[in-house]
């Protein structure tokens, strides 16, 4: 697949493709609402992966084609999905028992803010209408690894990677890696480390658009998006 940075849609697809590389064959994975759900469409055929949804589905497949849509088969974001052979259905109570029992190897979630210490804010903006807090507060503490996929800055150009989150927290010190449209950044005990940089961006521009101190890895590489 050739990756071209020609539109916002393509950038998001490429971010999802990059996030797929975080998934290890044999793992159980939860994909958060929004952009993370796109990752299901790019999981490599040779990977044995089981996708879990907090609304009670173990074994989510790719997004359905028009002739495959089943309005009763949805993920936690109420998007229609497919189910792989051997998938199972159960109550949300059992689903959260899986999450709280630390049976998820990885969760790929969206984010509104991530702090330099790995705090995550992703469930609400004060004053904005929300449908509910969802399951992220349980997921960030139940999954063994947390990867956040989000835009590097807001629509107004303000950094989403910050020294300290200003929005209500989903979890403290829970994020392991951040994938944005500009970079791949690790959250470590020594601070944020820039590991990959997107095509068309410089280290200086990424640092300038980040609201927290950012160190540069000695093995910095160009990301494929």
Confidence at residue 129, expressed as pLDDT on a 0 to 100 scale: 75
Confidence at residue 13, expressed as pLDDT on a 0 to 100 scale: 94
pTM of the model: 0.93
Q: Tell me if 15 is assigned to some domain.
A: yes
Q: Quote the CA–CA distance of 65 and 47 in Å, as a whole number.
A: 22
Q: Tell me if 145 is assigned to some domain.
A: yes
Q: Tell me if 97 is assigned to some domain.
A: yes
Confidence at residue 183, expressed as pLDDT on a 0 to 100 scale: 98
| Mean pLDDT per 10-residue interval, the chain, length 225 residues | 49 95 98 94 96 96 95 92 96 96 98 98 85 86 98 97 97 98 97 96 98 98 86
**How many C-beta atoms lie closer than 10 Å to residue 214's C-beta?**
19
Structural domain count, the chain: 1
Q: Which domain holds residue 46?
A: 8-222
> Helix (H) and strand (E) counts for the chain?
4, 13
Q: Tell me if 3 is assigned to some domain.
A: no
Q: Quote the CA–CA distance of 70 and 59 in Å, as a whole number.
A: 15
Q: What is the CATH number of the domain that holds 79?
A: 3.40.1080.10
Confidence at residue 7, expressed as pLDDT on a 0 to 100 scale: 55
Catalytic residue among 13, 20, 22, 54, which?
Answer: 54
Q: Tell me if 89 is assigned to some domain.
A: yes
CA atoms within 13 A on the CB side of 184: 21
Residue at token pair 């956040």: 148
Q: Is the dihedral of CA 40, 45, 49, 55 positive or negative?
A: positive
User: Is residue 54 among the annotated active site residues?
Assistant: yes
Q: Tell me if 175 is assigned to some domain.
A: yes
Q: Give yes or no for a contact between 109 and 146, defined as CB atoms under 8 angstroms apart.
A: yes
3-state DSSP call for residue 53?
strand
Q: Tell me if 1 is assigned to some domain.
A: no
Residue at token pair 């004053």: 127
Q: Tell me if 210 is assigned to some domain.
A: yes
Confidence at residue 5, expressed as pLDDT on a 0 to 100 scale: 40
Confidence at residue 8, expressed as pLDDT on a 0 to 100 scale: 63
């Amino acid at each position: 697949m050739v990756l071209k940075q020609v539109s916002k849609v393509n950038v998001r697809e490429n971010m999802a493709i990059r996030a797929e590389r975080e998934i290890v064959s044999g793992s159980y994975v939860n994909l958060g609402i929004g952009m993370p759900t796109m990752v299901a469409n790019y999981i490599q055929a040779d990977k044995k992966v089981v996708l879990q949804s907090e609304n009670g589905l173990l074994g989510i497949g790719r997004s359905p084609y028009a002739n495959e849509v089943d309005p009763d088969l949805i993920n936690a974001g109420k998007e229609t999905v497919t189910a792989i052979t051997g998938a199972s259905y159960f109550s949300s109570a059992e689903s959260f028992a899986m999450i709280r029992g630390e049976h998820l190897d990885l969760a790929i979630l969206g984010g509104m803010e991530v702090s330099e210490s790995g705090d995550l804010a992703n469930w609400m903006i004060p004053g904005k209408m929300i449908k509910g807090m969802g399951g992220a507060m349980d997921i960030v503490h139940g999954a063994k690894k947390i990867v956040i996929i989000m835009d590097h800055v807001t629509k107004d150009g303000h950094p989403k990677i910050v020294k300290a989150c200003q929005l209500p927290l989903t979890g403290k010190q829970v994020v392991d890696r951040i994938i944005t449209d500009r970079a791949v950044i690790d959250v470590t005990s020594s601070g944020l480390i820039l590991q990959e940089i997107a095509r068309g961006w410089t280290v200086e521009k990424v640092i300038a658009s980040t609201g927290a101190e950012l160190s540069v890895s000695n093995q910095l590489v160009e990301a494929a998006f």
